[in-house]
Structure 1
Amino acid sequence: MHIIKNNRLVRFILLLIPVIIILSCAKKDNKAAAQTPDQPQKQTTFTNPLLASGADPWIYKKGDVYYYMSTGVSNISITKTSAVSELGKATPTVVWRAPASGPNSKNVWAPELHYLQGKWYLYYTAGASSDLATQRCFVLENSATDLLDGNWVEKGKLSDPNGDFFAIDGTILEYKEKLYFIWSGQISTSDITQRIYIAEMANPWTLKTPKVQISIPQYDWERRGSAVNEGPEILKNAAGQVFLIYSGSSCNTDDYGLGMLSLKAGGDPLNPADWTKNPKPVFSKSIDNNVFGPGHNGFFKSKDGKEDWIIYHANAQSGLGCGGGRSPRIQKFTWNTDGTPNFGVPVSTTQNLTKPSGE
Structure 2
Amino acid sequence: MANTTQYTNPLIVQRADPFIYKHTDGYYYFTASVPAYNLIEIRRARTLEGLAHAAPRTIWRKHESGPMSQLIWAPEIHYIDGKWFIYFAAAETTAFDKNGMFQHRMFCIECDAEDPMVSEDDWIERGQVETGMDSFSLDATCFEANDKLYYVWAQKDPEIKGNSNLYIAEMSNPWTLKTKPVMLTKPEYEWETRGFWVNEGPAVIHRNGRFFLTYSSSATDENYCMGMLTVDENADLLDAANWHKSDEPVFQSDLAEHQFGPGHNSFTIAEDGQTDILVYHCRDYTDIKGDPLYDPNRHTKVQSFTWNEDGTPNFGKPVPYNYE
TM-score by length of 1: 0.82
Rg (Cα) greater in structure? 1
Q: Is the 8 A contact 1:77 1:93 kept in 2?
A: yes
Partner SS for 2:40: strand
What is the deviation of 1:189?
Answer: 8.4
Matched, 1:305 2:276: no
1:103-122 alignment to 2 at 5 Å? 103-122=67-86
Find the partner of 1:152 among 109, 123, 146: 123
- Count of paired positions: 306
Which sections of structure 1, spanning at least 5 residues, go unmatched? 1-43, 353-359
Find the partner of 2:30 among 68, 71, 77: 68
Matched, 1:218 2:180: no
Over 3 Å counting, the alpha-carbon distance change for 1:66 and 1:265 in structure 2 is closer
1:191-340 alignment to 2 at 5 Å? 192-237=162-207, 239-251=208-220, 253-320=221-288, 321-322=292-293, 323-340=295-312
Matched, 1:347 2:319: yes
Partner SS for 1:221: helix
Matched, 1:59 2:59: no
Partner SS for 1:87: helix
* Deviations, residues 144-203 of structure 1 (Å, cap 9, x unaligned): 001112611100101223x12110100002111111111001113896431001111111
Which sections of structure 2, spanning at least 5 residues, go unmatched? 97-101
Matched residue, 1:30: none
Q: Distance in 2 between matches of 1:212 and 1:275?
A: 11
Q: Distance in 1 between matches of 2:162 and 2:211?
A: 28
**What's the Cα RMSD here?**
1.7
Find the partner of 2:65 among 101, 110, 127: 101
Matched residue, 2:99: none
* Deviations, residues 41-67 of structure 1 (Å, cap 9, x unaligned): xxx644310122111010011021001
Find the partner of 1:183 among 153, 161, 186: 153
Matched residue, 1:26: none
Identity %: 40
* Deviations, residues 244-284 of structure 1 (Å, cap 9, x unaligned): 00001111x31201100001341111111010000000000
Partner SS for 2:84: strand
Amino acid at match of 2:148: K
More helix by share: 1
1:80-95 alignment to 2 at 5 Å? 80-95=44-59
Q: Is the 8 A contact 1:165 1:189 kept in 2?
A: no
Larger RCO, structures 1/2 (Cα 8 Å, 6+ apart)? 2
Partner SS for 1:197: strand
Bigger Cα displacement from structure 2, 316-325 vs 337-346: 316-325
Q: Distance in 1 between matches of 2:322 and 2:103?
A: 40
Q: Distance in 1 between matches of 2:15 and 2:260?
A: 15
Over 3 Å counting, the alpha-carbon distance change for 1:171 and 1:146 in structure 2 is same
Amino acid at match of 2:49: S
